[in-house]
């Protein structure tokens, strides 16, 4: 087999370590084997000497500890590398609107590999979830809800402000669509954390407004949220979360890839 990538150096070091931990004295072993076995140059039924049980146990423990440490280092490096590859892969897809089948398969494979390495248990309850996130990519943009299509459509940039570490009645998610020099549209939702797994955030859209540059007040967006019924409701399962990267899967089987950013990046529409 072939070992490549960040794990290669760790693998080479491990092989070298095992060689030192299990030294074989060829001279002493050959002296103990029968002469006939030495001269035939092929496999023999005579079993060569093995290390004593005590030396084997000590060496095995050392190798096990070494492998565990090498595995930890390779694991963390591989997550960072996978995130870098995913960011590069989605860069020119207009957040998923312009992507080929081959690109989509590559992106989904990277997402799956990253999700398997999620370092945060019960991510919906983690303080790391709060803050400002920039949307990098989403799947199935054409089959999402009308509200999602509105927010992640052809606008230049999309951000999400998450505020969950607060009293229940104040928990909010704000989806902000940048409109370039004109201003921005904010679609807000009330959020709740009722799932016992700690992975899911429930939401219900309830208001929306334009913030237009040089206009000193918000312009309400005429969406009849109460009439939309279930279309205004949904949930997000947080499948990967660290301090600066998030992957989520929605109730309409949509995948979202977001990167944490500063709220200052939103700018001031006024």
Q: What is the mean pLDDT of residues 80-86?
A: 97
Better-scored residue on pLDDT, 134 or 42: 134
pLDDT tens for 10-49 read: 444 444 444 444 444 444 444 444 444 444 444 444 455 5
Asked whether the predicted pLDDT for residue 109 surpasses 60, the reply is: yes
Asked whether the predicted pLDDT for residue 183 surpasses 90, the reply is: no
Better-scored residue on pLDDT, 243 or 213: 243
Better-scored residue on pLDDT, 248 or 263: 248
pTM for the predicted model, two decimal places: 0.69
Q: What are phi and psi of 216, to 5 degrees?
A: -80, 15
Helix (H) or strand (E) holding 266, with range, is none
CB atoms within 10 A of CB 8: 12
Q: 88-95, long-range: CB within 8 Å, 24+ apart, which pairs? A: 90/136, 90/137, 90/257, 93/137, 95/135, 95/136, 95/137, 95/138, 95/141, 95/152, 95/158
> Residue 84: helix, strand or coil by DSSP?
helix
Whether the CB-CB separation of 124 and 200 falls below 8 Å is answered with yes
pLDDT for 227: 83
130: tokens are: 């709060």
């Amino acid at each position: 087999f072939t070992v490549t990538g960040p794990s290669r150096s760790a693998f080479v070091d491990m092989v070298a370590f095992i060689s030192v931990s299990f030294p074989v004295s060829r001279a002493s072993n050959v002296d103990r084997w029968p002469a006939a076995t030495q001269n035939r140059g092929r496999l023999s039924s005579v079993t060569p000497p093995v290390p004593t049980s005590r030396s084997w146990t000590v060496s095995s423990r050392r190798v096990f500890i070494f492998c565990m440490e090498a595995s930890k280092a390779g694991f963390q490096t591989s997550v960072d590398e996978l995130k870098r590859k995913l960011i590069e892969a989605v860069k020119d897809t207009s957040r998923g609107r312009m992507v080929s089948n081959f690109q989509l398969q590559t992106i989904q494979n990277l997402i799956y590999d990253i999700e398997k390495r999620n370092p945060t248990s019960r991510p919906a309850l983690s303080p790391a979830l709060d803050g400002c996130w920039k949307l990098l990519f989403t799947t199935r943009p054409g089959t999402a809800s009308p509200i999602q299509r509105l927010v992640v459509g052809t606008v230049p940039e999309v951000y999400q402000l998450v505020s969950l570490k607060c009293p229940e009645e104040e928990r909010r998610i704000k989806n902000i669509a940048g409109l370039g020099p004109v201003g921005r549209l904010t679609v807000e939702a009330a959020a709740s954390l009722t799932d016992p797994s700690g992975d899911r955030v429930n939401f219900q859209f309830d208001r929306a407004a334009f913030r237009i540059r040089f206009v000193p007040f918000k312009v309400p967006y005429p969406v009849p949220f109460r009439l939309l019924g279930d279309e205004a409701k949904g949930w997000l399962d947080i499948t990967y979360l660290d301090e600066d990267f998030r992957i989520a899967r929605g109730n309409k089987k949509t995948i979202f890839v977001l990167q944490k950013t500063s709220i200052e990046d939103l700018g001031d529409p006024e």
